[in-house]
């Protein structure tokens, strides 16, 4: 990693600071999720791998309870804040909030951790692309803070703690991103099961490559996409409330529902009780024997107290549940496909996952749909949107022998073709180097700390 341009930039910046010695460097990789989208916060499995792109932070201990950060990206201003169990956030979208999220999460569990650090941060994960640059930043900051305070925290425990801690920036995500960043194993896709968190690595089939293509529609986790994203966990909670009432038993989450009835039983119960038509808030209140006011103060209120807007067509509860249940089954089938080196089957399941994300979970957009079609038409075994959705990247599994042809076709047909024709505004801002938006990535190990 030491010869990467980004690490070189960090080293130069660190060397220009007073007292240039004593630095260590943390590498926290981005991730791409191969299959299992929006399942994690329902307690159901995902299957990501860590990317050979990462957030890097050179850091060293300070004797005061303060965190001081500079970024190699000159557009991101230096940040400095005090360590405490309740740290006031910067404005939404500020890069410093990810450091604050990490430090607050650890400080509130380890009140003796009072040593601060200074860090020079950089990275080569495209931002707002669904590749978890934000969680990588959280993990990098947490590992630096744990290291300077000699905290001995198991990685699985840290992953759970940071999944909760990252809610500080306002998203109601699950535990996938932090877990893969900390526990990834090179050459594998990691099946992560939740409640409690368990990991099962599956070797990627020999002779295959994982292709990542950015639709270039921005999906910033801490900005606008947040409201869209947060609506989905809320709809899953509403669905569980309606199912609990109809079945006269408590269903805490969709994992429990799937466990109780099995895939076929859960799907048919969901269909019968929820149907496929959207639920306006009025109907939801009636069904739950609640006034609209109580509904708004309970099911339609987010954990931070803010209200959820009802979409014009109502809440598509039945479709959301169908996606989550079928997606969980697909993840487990994909794990079997990988174990028997059946790359074609894994690709087929990825394609099905995209259709479900597009039609039932409704987290795609025309750009991602076009990109997925083009990846598949160019010879990929299967392609799908990856990450939170509403923009960001598509991921594809491909035979390595086809890789260069696929990259060439996608470059011509999506970027210089579809995007240029349909989204000239985005095409105008096409990054300078193709590797910034279209590339294949190895699957690498989780985060590491080493000497500079």
- C-alpha closest to that of 334 among 236, 192, 215, 132: 192
* Size of residue set near ligand GLA by CB under 6 A: 11
- DSSP summary character for residue 401: G
Tell me the two tokens of residue 108: 């509130």
- DSSP summary character for residue 273: H
Residue-wise burial string across 349-372, b where 16 or more C-beta atoms lie within 10 A, e elsewhere = bbbbbbebbbebbbbbbebbbbbb
Q: Which is nearer to ligand GLA, 39 or 443 (CB)?
A: 39
Q: Which is nearer to ligand GLA, 67 or 159 (CB)?
A: 159
Binds ligand GLA (CB under 6 A): choice among 30, 32, 40, 253: 40
Q: How far is the CB of 388 from ligand GLA (least distance, A)?
A: 4
Structure-derived torsion over alpha carbons of residues 68, 74, 75, 76, reported in degrees to the nearest 10: -10
Q: Which is nearer to ligand GLA, 269 or 441 (CB)?
A: 441
How far CA 186 is from CA of 89, 132, 201, 414, 442, in Å, comes to 35, 18, 9, 30, 8
- C-alpha closest to that of 395 among 412, 410, 408, 415: 410
| Angstrom distance (rounded) from CA 57 to CA 122 | 6
- Contacts with ligand GLA, 128-167, as mask; x by CB under 6 A: ----------------------------------------
In the window 176-205, what residues touch ligand GLA (CB under 6 A)? 176-177
- For residue 57, give the H/E element and its range: strand 47-62
Is 385 within 8 Å of 363 (Cβ atoms)? yes
User: Strand 79-82 relative to strand 24-35: parallel, antiparallel, unpaired?
Assistant: unpaired
Q: Which stretch binds ligand GLA (CB under 6 A): 72-80, 168-176, 203-211, 265-273?
A: 168-176
- Contacts with ligand GLA, 253-282, as mask; x by CB under 6 A: ------------------------------
Q: Which is nearer to ligand GLA, 58 or 325 (CB)?
A: 325
Is 384 within 8 Å of 375 (Cβ atoms)? no
Q: Which is nearer to ligand GLA, 202 or 221 (CB)?
A: 221
| Angstrom distance (rounded) from CA 323 to CA 91 | 34
Q: Which stretch binds ligand GLA (CB under 6 A): 33-41, 79-87, 238-246, 367-375?
A: 33-41
In the window 353-412, what residues touch ligand GLA (CB under 6 A)? 387-388
Residue 173 found at the interface with ligand GLA (CB under 6 A): yes
Q: How far is the CB of 165 from ligand GLA (least distance, A)?
A: 12
Residue 41 found at the interface with ligand GLA (CB under 6 A): yes
Is 191 within 8 Å of 199 (Cβ atoms)? yes
Q: Which stretch binds ligand GLA (CB under 6 A): 38-46, 272-280, 292-300, 427-435?
A: 38-46
Binds ligand GLA (CB under 6 A): choice among 24, 27, 38, 330: 38
Tell me the two tokens of residue 376: 């598949």
Is 284 within 8 Å of 298 (Cβ atoms)? no
Is 193 within 8 Å of 175 (Cβ atoms)? no
Is the bond preceding 196 in cis, omega lying within 30 degrees of 0?
yes
Q: Which is nearer to ligand GLA, 59 or 229 (CB)?
A: 229
Using only C-alpha atoms, the chain has a radius of gyration, in whole angstroms, of 22
Q: Which is nearer to ligand GLA, 179 or 409 (CB)?
A: 179
User: Does 293 qualify as catalytic in the annotation?
Assistant: no
In the window 89-118, what residues touch ligand GLA (CB under 6 A)? none
Residue 351 found at the interface with ligand GLA (CB under 6 A): no
Binds ligand GLA (CB under 6 A): choice among 174, 205, 318, 392: 174
In the window 306-325, what residues touch ligand GLA (CB under 6 A)? none
Q: Which is nearer to ligand GLA, 173 or 205 (CB)?
A: 173
Q: Which stretch binds ligand GLA (CB under 6 A): 170-178, 397-405, 409-417, 440-448?
A: 170-178
Q: How far is the CB of 363 from ligand GLA (least distance, A)?
A: 8
| Angstrom distance (rounded) from CA 221 to CA 178 | 14
Given 177, 224, 304, 445, which residue is catalytic?
A: 177
Alpha helices in 149-224 (DSSP H): 155-165, 176-183
Name the 3-class secondary structure at 303. Answer: coil
Residue 72 CA neighbour count, 13 Å, CB half = 20
Q: How far is the CB of 317 from ligand GLA (least distance, A)?
A: 18
Q: Which stretch binds ligand GLA (CB under 6 A): 31-39, 137-145, 317-325, 337-345?
A: 31-39
Site residues, ligand GLA (CB under 6 A): 33, 37-38, 40-41, 173-174, 176-177, 387-388
The catalytic residues are 177
């Amino acid at each position: 990693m030491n010869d990467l341009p980004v690490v070189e930039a960090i080293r130069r910046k660190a060397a220009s600071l007073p007292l240039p010695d004593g630095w260590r460097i943390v590498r926290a990789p981005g991730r791409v999720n191969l299959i299992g989208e929006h399942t994690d916060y329902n307690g159901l499995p995902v299957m990501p791998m860590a990317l050979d792109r990462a957030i890097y932070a050179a850091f060293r201990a300070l004797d005061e309870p303060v965190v001081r950060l500079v970024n190699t990206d000159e557009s991101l201003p230096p940040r400095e804040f005090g360590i405490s169990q309740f740290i006031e956030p910067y404005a939404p979208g500020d890069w410093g909030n990810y450091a604050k999220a990490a430090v607050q999460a650890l400080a509130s569990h380890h009140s003796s951790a009072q040593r601060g650090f200074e860090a020079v941060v950089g990275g080569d994960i495209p931002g707002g692309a669904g590749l978890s640059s934000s969680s990588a930043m959280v993990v990098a900051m947490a590992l630096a803070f744990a290291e300077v305070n000699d905290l001995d925290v198991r990685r699985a425990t840290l992953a759970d703690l940071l999944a909760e801690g990252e809610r500080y920036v306002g998203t109601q995500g699950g535990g996938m991103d932090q877990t893969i960043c900390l526990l990834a194993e090179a050459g594998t896709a990691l099946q992560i099961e939740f409640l409690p968190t368990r990991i099962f690595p599956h070797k990627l089939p020999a002779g295959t490559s994982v292709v990542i293509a950015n639709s270039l529609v921005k999906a910033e986790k801490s900005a606008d996409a947040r409201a869209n994203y947060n609506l989905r966990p809320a709809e899953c909670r509403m669905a569980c409330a309606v199912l609990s009432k109809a079945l006269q038993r408590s269903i805490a989450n969709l994992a429990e529902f799937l466990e109780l009835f099995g895939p076929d039983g859960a799907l048919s119960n969901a269909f019968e009780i929820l149907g496929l038509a959207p639920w306006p808030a009025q109907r939801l209140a009636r069904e739950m024997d609640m006034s609209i006011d109580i509904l708004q103060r309970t099911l339609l209120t987010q954990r931070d107290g803010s209200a959820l807007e009802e979409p014009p067509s109502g809440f598509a509860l039945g479709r959301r549940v169908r996606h989550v249940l079928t997606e969980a089954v697909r993840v487990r089938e994909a794990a079997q496909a990988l174990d028997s080196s059946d790359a074609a089957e894994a690709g087929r399941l990825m394609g099905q996952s995209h259709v479900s994300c597009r039609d039932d979970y409704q987290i795609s957009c025309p750009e991602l749909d076009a990109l997925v079609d083009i990846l598949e038409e160019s010879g990929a075994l299967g392609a799908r949107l990856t990450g939170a959705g509403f923009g960001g990247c598509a991921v594809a599994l491909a035979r390595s022998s086809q890789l260069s042809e696929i990259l060439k076709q996608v470059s011509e047909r999506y970027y210089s073709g579809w995007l240029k024709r349909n989204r000239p505004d985005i095409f105008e801002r096409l990054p300078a180097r193709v590797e910034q938006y279209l590339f294949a990535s190895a699957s690498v190990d989780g985060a590491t700390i080493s000497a500079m």
